Amino acid sequence: MKKGLARIFLLCTMTIVTTGCWDYTEIELRDLVMGAGVDAEDPKVIVITEMAKSIGVGQEAEFEPVVLTTDARSLTSGAHNLANPAGMEIFWAHAQVFLVSEEVARSSILQVLEPIVRARDLRSTMYLLVTKDCTVEEVFKSKPPLVDGVSRHLASVIRLSDVTTDFIPQQVWRFIGDLSSPGISGTLPGVELVHEGGALLPVVRGAAVFKLDRLIGWLSKEETQILALLKGESEGGFFVMDTEVKGNTFPITYEFRGSQFQTKPSVDGENLRMKVSLSLQLGVAGVKGADVDFSDLAVVNDIEGQVSRSFTRRIRDFLGLIQEDYNSDIVGFGQLLWRQEPAIWRKVESDWDAVFRDLPVDVDVDCRISFTGFHAQPIKVRN
């Protein structure tokens, strides 16, 4: 009995005295990268990082964003060069966003993606964005109104994508999947600087359209809204539409409350076409004081028809843009064909650009107003 207790005591003692880290670096000797990006300056690239500088100790410690830049012949060497001006070891694992300038994206975004996926301390869950009409450095040096640091601001905005259709968030792993999968082209959200109260603020909206690894054009906020619906990415958001009610036109604000989207390839001999069906459930968020009675079934049916026709036109205009102007299958019609009709895909894969450009698409949109708030009838003011 005594020998058994002695053995247990010895094991517990050894467990206590032999535990510890075999390798570690004190956090005080590291600079934490919250966001990074690349600007181009031929023949070198400019690497920009936003780091979190610790001020104070313990529970009173605060983090202040610091922007550092360096230039090098590659992203990898530039990232390592940052240790010199930082004066500490760079810790990349907390990076939330990675910004790419429009110039780099138009050249080839592979020069950015390849070092990221090779690096052992960069996460593929980082959000990718492309700057529009500004540089990456200008974005990181802007001043968000409510949070410290552009990286935190952009990450917070992206997490609100379920309540807005202004952009479609893309993480590194997902964008790489779009680049490598057959029958689909990639998009990335855009970052712009807008003037607000005398300061420049970063805003996420629209989409950068890619063909293979190169940026070829942009989608507006409204066009990105249509893309989100066609890809099943839309979970919320609002839009304003001039709506005619009993001979008068009112700007009514509608809310997306649900959507169902279906695309089917139709093959008739050598003829290929796509059939797009979109069902929207909408709520009424505001009528700007207009005299619109949503308890009147005839009024509701007329409004639903107007919204359905409006979205049909918008979708057709959008398809004309990506087919004729960009010739980039960002919706993924080819990917759908590859999955559902592999034999047909094998026939058209090598010439998909030409097939996609002239691909007939039938559009059917059905809108239903499912929610009008707590008051379906307008507010009546006494005489």
Residues above pLDDT 70, as percent of the chain: 84
Distance CA 321, CA 219 (A): 9
In this prediction, residue 315 carries a pLDDT of 95
Per-residue pLDDT tens for 290-327?
A: 778 888 888 889 999 999 999 999 999 999 999 999 99
C-alpha pair distances (Å), 334 with each of 170, 187, 350, 355:
20, 16, 11, 10
Token pair 């001039």: residue: 242
Confidence of residue 88 (pLDDT cuts 50, 70, 90): low
Q: How much is the average pLDDT of 19-27?
A: 55
Token pair 């960002």: residue: 330
Mean pLDDT of the chain: 84
| Residues facing 98 on adjacent strands | 36, 128
Locate 118 and state its tokens: 């090779």
Locate 104 and state its tokens: 């780099």
In this prediction, residue 382 carries a pLDDT of 65
Range with lowest mean pLDDT among 48-62, 64-78, 197-211, 221-235: 48-62
What is the DSSP code string of 256-269?
Answer: EEEEEEEEEEEEET
- Helix, strand, or coil here: 167? coil
Question: Which among 229, 263, 272 is positioned nearest to 360, based on CA atoms?
Answer: 272
| Residues facing 41 on adjacent strands | 44
Distance CA 170, CA 35 (A): 15
pTM of the model: 0.84
Question: Which among 331, 298, 337 is positioned nearest to 178, based on CA atoms?
Answer: 331
Name the burial class of residue 146, with classes exposed (0-12), middle (13-18) and buried (19+) by CB atoms within 10 angstroms of its CB.
Answer: exposed
What class, spelled out in words, does domain 221-383 have in CATH? alpha beta
Cis before residue 43, ω within 30 degrees of 0? Answer: yes
CB atoms within 10 A of CB 96: 20
Per-residue pLDDT tens for 152-200?
A: 999 989 987 777 778 999 999 999 999 999 999 999 999 999 987 778 8
Are the beta carbons of 37 and 98 closer than 8 angstroms? yes
Domain layout of the chain by residue ranges: 28-219, 221-383
**What dihedral angle (degrees, nearest 10) is formed by the CA atoms of 287, 364, 358, 174?**
70
| Residues facing 248 on adjacent strands | 245
| Residue 338 in this model has a pLDDT that exceeds 90 | yes
- Helix, strand, or coil here: 42? coil
